Amino acid sequence: MNFHNSTGLRYEAEEVRRCLLKGVKESAKMSLSDSELLMEVLDEARRQAVWTRFFPVSLEISRLLSRDEVGEVKVVRADFGIPLMHVPRAVQKELGGGALLYIGIYCVQFALMVFNGEKPESIQATGVCLDTGVDEAMIITLKFSGHRLAVCTCTISAQLPNEALIVGTKGTIKVVAVAARDLKHAQEFAQKHNIPRAYGSYEELAKDPEIGVEESTVVVLKFPRNRMAICACTIDCYLPNDATICGTKGTIRVSD
């Protein structure tokens, strides 16, 4: 079977369902070994549904985390944004479009991979929608037990840095890459690319017993005309301490 993105998710799912159901119905006519193999495929499909989990970099990240190379992971950040407003498959609701469903899933799955499939304690998300009814951009904050956070940003209207960051108490893993089914396309893409209180210091604020001081915070600001800003800070580990401004024509990045 060969499915293309232009087909649309709804049709892909139906075609796959029919094929799998046919395989199950025909299994009685197959040999025992073939039937067992089909059941293994179905079971694996239920457990592993994101192909990026099998990338060499994903396997290496899992290895590093299992060896406690970065200590306890406190913050995970993943950004994925590509100008896709001209692609029907990305902007049309009937084709399963939208930033989160089209490309944001890779950011979310990355965070869940790092936290080993742990269920978040809370999920907060905000985004902006197109006239077609799908999301143009979205920011998702996942809060896990033990004061751990993951922040995922995705958009189909601008070019983001497209990188992932894993920050632990002992070190940091930074993933910076671009991939495509065609090496040439990947290379071309990479190349182109009213507050009631006030205080005079952070120490003064922290000493106020009526103020709760957080270890890590993520603030999402939503502006008119489908514009968004996300700010992350922590006093528990080192962050890259940089800023990125992404526009329709280019990107400005400021590093500490």
Distances (CA, A) of 105 to 32, 79, 85, 111: 36, 11, 18, 10
Superfamily for the 51-255 domain: Dihydrodipicolinate Reductase; domain 2 (3.30.360.10)
Q: Is 154 exposed, middle or buried (0-12, 13-18, 19+ CB in 10 A)?
A: buried
Read off the pLDDT band of 188 (50, 70, 90). low
Q: Which two tokens stand for residue 119?
A: 């269920």
For 55-109, the pLDDT digits (tens) are 777 888 888 999 998 999 999 999 999 899 999 989 998 888 899 988 898 999 9
Measured distance CA(74)–CA(233) in Å, rounded: 11
Q: Please say whether the beta carbons of 75 and 239 come within 8 A.
A: yes
For residue 103, how many C-alpha atoms fall within 13 Å in the half-sphere facing its CB? Answer: 30
Indicate whether 173 pLDDT > 80: yes
Q: Where are the domains of the chain?
A: 1-49, 51-255
Query: In this predicted structure, what is the pLDDT of residue 215?
Result: 60
Which span out of 137-151, 155-169, 171-185 was modeled with the highest average pLDDT?
137-151
Amino acid at position 157, single letter: S
Counting residues of the chain whose pLDDT is more than 70, the rounded percentage is 62
Residues 6+ apart with CB under 8 A from 182: none
pLDDT score recorded for residue 21 = 63
pTM of model > 0.85: no
Model confidence at 46: pLDDT above 60: no
